[in-house]
Amino acid sequence: MTALLDLKLVFVTGKGGVGKTTVASAMALFASLRGKRVLICEVDAKGDVAGFYEAPPTGFKEREVLPDVFAMTMDTEASLREYLKLQLRIPVIGRIGPLAKAFDFVATAAPGVREILTVGKLCYEVRERNYDLVVVDAPASGHIIGQLAAPQAINNLVKVGLIRSQTDWMLDILSDPAATGLVAVCTPEEMPVTETIELAVRVREETTVRLAAVVVNRVLPELFGRQEEEVFDVLGSSEALGRLNELVGGDAGPVLDAARLAVTMRRTRSTHLDRLRLSIDGAIPMLYLPYLFTRSHGLRTTRQVAASLGEELGY
């Protein structure tokens, strides 16, 4: 199986709030540090990617935000404009006002048009070999299937026409396991794990893209081994705690409470992790990223996540 970073096109998805953009940004950064020229594309135009690199807001036109990391924001209308210019040689008149309106309308009415323009632009960058790797901060897991299945859906719906003729080469790229992969990000919590398990099934059944890795984000550190946990339990007993309080010259209760919270949280989470491991095909790599106890989010965090990701990938 092609190693994750040797793919050409990687879609990163996950339930909202699990750190999908963090992982995508870190993956792009790590690949660039390994000497690759990388494009990271944000599909949900929230502008978060720029924040993770502490760069000014990104647009449809890609910009180098770090050495060899180019960032862009998907804009389906701009993608259509580029497509018309490149493929159909339809002259672009000014801001193509009426066309934009017509497009917006058709895209709302005709399912798949918006999706195909997104996937089309990404596949185009791959086909033209403009980058070694294209990382997509893709829509959340509820929406990614529609996106990845769009070329196939269009193939079924549209019998002729230019869009139809364009879907074949896109499908070739998307279906090539050595070129394209999906990365599902989750946290070790109930809903994210459930969604990831469901996503894995739907990706297999409804798309031609393969699931290349599952990233488990925000894994809490294991504080104690078994016997250490016994020591910890006894430390909490009134006698030992009294002694400890004397030694530290204060109330050690809150400090022990924090550790207890960490232990319980980890235990609850590990049951969800077990469920995930049992449900995901053993051949699909699982990458674990630690919970980060950091002051703020920004480039520093992205670098830390990139380093952890690199370790997990065996570099």
Partner 1 sequence: MADAGTGKAPRGAPPAGGGSMDGLLATKEIVVACGPGGVGKTTTAAAAAVMAAIRHGSKVLVLTVDPAKRLANALGLDGIGNTEHRVPDEAFRSAGVKPRGQLWAAMLDTKESWDALIAHHAPDDQTRDEILANPLYQNIAGRFVQSHDYIAMERLYEIHSASDYDLIVVDTPPTRNALDFLDAPQRMADFFSSRLLRWLIVPYRSRLVNVATKPFYQIADRILGTEFLADISEFFILFQSMYAGFVERSDAVGRLLSDRRTTFVVVSTLEAVPLREAEFFAEQLTNRRLHLGAIVLNKVLPDYLRGAAGASVAESMKERAEEFAAQLSPTLTLVDPVLGDIDQIARVLTEVADGYLNFQVVALREMEERSSLSVVPDVLATVPFFETDIFDLAGLIRLGEQIWD
Count of residues in contact with partner 1, rule CB under 8 A: 80
Q: Which of 1, 3, 178, 231 binds partner 1 (CB under 8 A)?
A: 231
Region near partner 1 per CB under 8 A, out of 66-74, 158-166, 169-177, 276-284: 158-166
Under the binding rule (CB under 8 A), the answer on residue 201 touching partner 1 is no
* 3-class secondary structure per residue, 113-133: HHHHHHHHHHHHHHHCCCCCE
Under the binding rule (CB under 8 A), the answer on residue 259 touching partner 1 is yes
Q: How far is the CB of 146 from partner 1 (least distance, A)?
A: 6
Nearer to partner 1 among residue 7 and residue 43 (C-beta): 43
Under the binding rule (CB under 8 A), the answer on residue 140 touching partner 1 is yes
Site string for partner 1, 234-253 (x = CB under 8 A): xx-x-xx--xx--xxxxxxx
DSSP label at 218? E
Q: Which of 3, 64, 204, 294 binds partner 1 (CB under 8 A)?
A: 294
Buried/exposed code over 229-248 (b: 16+ C-beta within 10 A; e: otherwise): eeeeeeeeeeeebeebeeee
Rounded Cα gap, residues 154 and 257, in angstroms: 56
Tokens of 254: 């809150």
Nearer to partner 1 among residue 178 and residue 223 (C-beta): 223
Buried/exposed code over 264-289 (b: 16+ C-beta within 10 A; e: otherwise): eebeebeebbebbeeebeeeebebbb
Residues 3-62 that bind partner 1 (CB under 8 A): 15-18, 21, 44, 46, 48, 51
Under the binding rule (CB under 8 A), the answer on residue 92 touching partner 1 is no
Nearer to partner 1 among residue 34 and residue 224 (C-beta): 224
Give CA separation, 171 vs 48, 137, 155, 186, 203, in Å.
29, 20, 10, 27, 14
Tokens of 314: 């065996």
Q: For 289, what's the count of Cα atoms within 13 Å in the CB-facing half-sphere? A: 30
Nearer to partner 1 among residue 161 and residue 314 (C-beta): 161
Q: How far is the CB of 297 from partner 1 (least distance, A)?
A: 5
Under the binding rule (CB under 8 A), the answer on residue 88 touching partner 1 is yes
